[in-house]
Structure 1
Amino acid sequence: MARMHTRRRGSSGSDKPAADEPPEWSDVDAEDIESRVVELAEQGYEPSQIGMKLRDEGVTGTPIPDVKLATGKKLTEILEENDATSDIPEDLYNLMDRAVRLREHVRENPQDYQNKRALQNTESKVRRLVKYYRGDELEPDFQYSYDVAKTLLED
């Protein structure tokens, strides 16, 4: 797949190994995993961070290599069932955070043309994602702007 803002091709990545059932050494109960996921979400961790914590630390010392194989549900589905999701999707939140930091940097360093371009590209990605999420996970009249992003990130 080609990159969004350059003419170069993207690099291929590795695929997850195909597995139908969790490994034998990871025999944690699905309810324990779900309660740990909700607990981590309440502590303020994002879904990707929760997955890494479960992979590294696990539940009661036993690592969880794949939440979906162990519970039959995706991590985000578990969060939705327990009303522990955030207001903004994680990918959009991270891009908006980057755009706010870039805008503040460009304000302090007006001659930094490379980061001006990075800001334009990032805000373009944010607008594209807002258009994608509008109506389902965001309000139908949501519009991205620096001020809106700054207030959303402060909450």
Structure 2
Amino acid sequence: MARMHTRRRGSSGSDKPATDETPEWSDVDAEDIESRVVELAEQGHDPSVIGLKLRDEGVKGVPVPDVKLATGKKVTEILEEHDADADLPEDLRNLMSQAIRLREHMEENGQDHQNKRALQNTESKIRRLADYYRGDEIDEEFTYTYENAVEYLEE
């Protein structure tokens, strides 16, 4: 897939193995996995970090290669069931924090035209993503401004 704000093509990434069942060496109970997911979320980790921690550290010393195969649910679905999900989706929150960092950089370095363009592109991505999530994941009246982003990320 092509990049959004450049003329270059995107880079292809690796694919997950095509399998329908968990490996026999990873025999962790689904309830243990769900409790570990909720525990990591309460510690303040994002869903992507939770997946990495389960892959690397595992549950009770046994790694979990794929949460969805082991439990039948995605990490975000588990978090929604246990009311441990964040108020903003992870990708939108990451873009907002990037825009805040760029805006603070631009206040100190007004002559940095390259990062001024990067800030415009990032805020464009935020608005596009907010349109996608509006009504389902975020409020219907949500509009992106720098002040709103700072307020959301301070919570």
TM-score, with length taken from structure 1 = 0.99
User: Is 1:38 the counterpart of 2:38 in the alignment?
Assistant: yes
Unmatched runs of 5 consecutive residues or more in structure 1? none
Equivalence for 2:128: 128
Equivalence for 2:67: 67
Equivalence for 2:14: 14
> How far is the alpha carbon of 1:11 from its aligned partner?
1.2
Residue identity in the other structure for 2:44? G
> How far is the alpha carbon of 1:14 from its aligned partner?
1.3
Residue identity in the other structure for 2:146? Y
Q: How does 1:1-155 map to 2 (within 5 A)?
A: 1-155=1-155
Residues 61-110 of structure 1 deviation map (CA, whole Å, 9 limit, x = unaligned): 00000000001111111001000000000000000000000000001000
| Number of residue pairs the alignment of both structures matches | 155
Structure-2 separation of matches of 1:83 and 1:95: 23
Residue identity in the other structure for 2:124? S
> How far is the alpha carbon of 1:33 from its aligned partner?
0.3
Structure-1 separation of matches of 2:137 and 2:20: 31
User: What SS does structure 2 have at the residue aligned with 1:27?
Assistant: coil
Computed over aligned residues only, the root mean square deviation of the Cα atoms, in angstroms, reads 0.5
Residues 105-138 of structure 1 deviation map (CA, whole Å, 9 limit, x = unaligned): 0010001111001000000000000111111111
> How far is the alpha carbon of 1:23 from its aligned partner?
0.4
